[in-house]
Amino acid sequence: MFRFFSGNKNLFALKPRFMLSAALALCSGFAQADIYRSLDPATPTKYTNTLPAEGRWELYLKEKPAPVREEPAYDQRRFTVDGRSRYASQIQAAAMANNVEAALIRAVISAESGFNPSAISKAGAVGLMQLMPETAMRYNVSDRHDPGQNIQGGTQYLRDLLQMFNNNLHLAIAAYNAGEQAVMKYGNRIPPYRETLAYVPKVMKFYKRYNASYASAEKTGYKRLSMASRKKATQTRVSRTYLPNPA
């Protein structure tokens, strides 16, 4: 819910410094805290932290984005993808069932929970892929703490996001974090939210590392396949062609 400054005459008697402080205080906690001022004297709401679709407004105060903290260097062992790695069978099953790359599933799990099945966010997201109650209900996940169910539900959501955004990997990842409505609101572009702007490159970094590990495992033959899998070699690793991220 957005908060507004009312068109109170006393508001304009306040000192500019106090007005700026009040604006920032009201907008704290939002992903974007720019303040807009109405140019129409008849408008009852004079200040708002979201740009209305109607009326004449000007940017009154723009908050400088916080610097994005770079991810530390990770031990290559973290990106092991052989059959002994954590939740390998559940991830592979979800990848095959939903035509989503296992490398992408692992990347999202790494960013969302760090492979902790007991992770719970302040917003109420639960499990390896941090499913919200609504998302779990949509994909028939009865126990979000169960790794297999959680991975299946999260992967189904990724599958639908990839279809929704025409295999644009960056937009699908952004939508997983901010929601598909947020991506569509900003014209099918990554929403300018601090968390999302940091989340997308973080997942992409993990994805590239896992993708390289899968490719290396296949070349060295380290990944052992059953005879049935060998007969269906084209199905052992899902591959997608992604569209470039819009500028």
| Residues carrying an active site annotation | 112
Q: Which residues of 30-60 are buried (b: 16+ CB within 10 A; e: fewer)?
A: eeebbbbbbeeeebeebbbbeeeeeeebeeb
Phi-psi region of 187 (alpha: psi -120 to 50; beta: other; left: phi over 0): left
Token pair recorded at residue 212:
């390289």
